[in-house]
Amino acid sequence: MVTIEGEEIVVAKGDTVFLPGGAEHGVRNVDEGDEELRWFYVFAVAGFGEAGYVFPGEEGYECVGDGV
């Protein structure tokens, strides 16, 4: 299951999901079996350190990384 801006989307093996820059998102394995979740990211930046992350915190949002 992927959550993008509060909307939950059921995904399956082989699916592709586009995450807009700056969108709050999360992923969780809702499979009740023993199958492990594999999640692969591709970033539209030159290096991993250039990717920006936003995490909801108790006192607002915290940005981690250089931003995009």
pLDDT digits (tens, 9 = 90+) for 7-66: 999 998 889 999 887 788 888 888 877 788 888 888 888 877 787 766 665 455 544 555
The confidence score (pLDDT) of residue 9 equals: 92
Q: Cα separation of 5 and 7, whole Å? A: 6
The phi-psi region of residue 22 (left if phi > 0; otherwise alpha if psi is between -120 and 50; otherwise beta) is: left
What is the pTM for the complete model shown?
0.64
